[in-house]
Amino acid sequence: MSAARDPNETTHFGFQQVPASEKAERVGAVFDSVAGRYDLMNDLMSLGIHRIWKQFTIQVANVRPGQRVLDLAGGTGDLTRAFSKKVGETGGVVLCDINASMLDVGRRRLTDQGIAGNVTYVQANAEELPFEDGSFDLITMAFGLRNVTDKQRALASMRRVLKPGGALLVLEFSHPTVPLLKPVYDLYSLSVLPRLGKLVTGDADSYQYLAESIRMHPDQESLQGMLETAGLERCEYFNLTGGIVALHRGFRL
């Protein structure tokens, strides 16, 4: 059962402060709006570079046959597809997303691609994962943590369902480490992305939120500290594309 939130607790929704109890619903509305063209917009927004970031994540994951993988906020299934091939018939991948629209797009896409036998689909909140302790060898969360209401609680939930020796990989937009890159990146994400979203999906507001949510997400060192607070060990991160994106890794030992 979900723990009731303090009615006075607030959190950020982009640059807005909103009741914490409302954030999940508001984020859900964003992804309901963009689900149908999510992959197209990812390619346009990142000029296709998101595929390189995800490929690096797959390499770092080093998944082996027979392992069990949880792809959190797995959306349209890019990572799930790759992991499904690597774990083979003796392993399994759970594609998990809080948003039904994104999960439906992912299920249809992977089914059309012939990915079926070792993949299951679960709609769930990362803060309260409905799995037994020590269920997974690997958990990945790509571009989803910044949308979670209580990130620390979600990280603790992820650690709980990792097997001893298992790894958590969090791929997320972060804070540029190259000084000259930051103003260009800010201009692009806060001005160009909403206009692109309006042109492609007819929805500028959702992409305005997504751009703002990146600014409100913890920086690299802060997020590493959150992984450590959740009980993960040997925590580290890899800056990608000048720190625009970072891949964080921690282990349950």
Query: Does residue 198 sit within a domain?
Result: no
> What pLDDT, on a 0 to 100 scale, did the predictor assign at position 2?
47
**Banded pLDDT at 39 (limits 50, 70, 90):** confident
Of 169 and 29, the one with more pLDDT: 169
Please, which residues have CB within 8 angstroms of residue 225's CB and are 6 or more apart in sequence?
none
Q: What is the pLDDT of residue 8?
A: 76
Q: For the segment 136-177, what is each residue's pLDDT rounded down to a tens digit?
A: 999 999 999 999 999 999 999 999 999 999 999 999 999 999
In the numeric block, the tokens 């890794």 are attached to 249
Residue 166 lies in a domain: yes
Beta bridge partners, 95, equal 71, 121
Q: What is the pLDDT of residue 1?
A: 40
| Predicted pLDDT at 108 | 94
CATH code assigned at 165: 3.40.50.150
**pLDDT: which is higher, 54 or 32:** 54
Least confident of 47-51, 67-71, 135-139: 47-51
101 assigned to some structural domain: yes
Q: Which residues pair with 167 in a beta bridge?
A: 138, 251
pLDDT digits (tens, 9 = 90+) for 192-220: 889 988 888 888 898 899 889 988 999 99
d(CA 116, CA 119): 6
Residue 163 domain-assigned? yes
Per-residue pLDDT, averaged over 224-230, amounts to: 98
The whole-number pLDDT of residue 152 equals 98
Dihedrals φ, ψ of 246, to 5°? Answer: -135, 140
Does a structural domain hold residue 197? no
| Mean confidence (pLDDT) of the chain | 93
Give how far the C-alpha of residue 188 lies from the chain's centroid of Cα atoms, to the nearest Å: 21
With respect to residue 186, please indicate whether it lies within any of the assigned structural domains. Answer: no
Q: Is residue 13 part of a domain?
A: no
pLDDT of 4 > 70? The answer is no
The number of distinct structural domains making up the chain is 1
Domain with 109 in it: 23-177+209-251
Write out the H or E segment, with its range, that includes residue 164: strand 162-173
Confidence of residue 38 (pLDDT cuts 50, 70, 90): confident
Q: What is the pLDDT, as a whole number, of residue 203?
A: 87
Q: Determine, yes or no, domain membership for 117.
A: yes
pTM passes above 0.85: yes
Quick one: tokens of 185?
């990146």
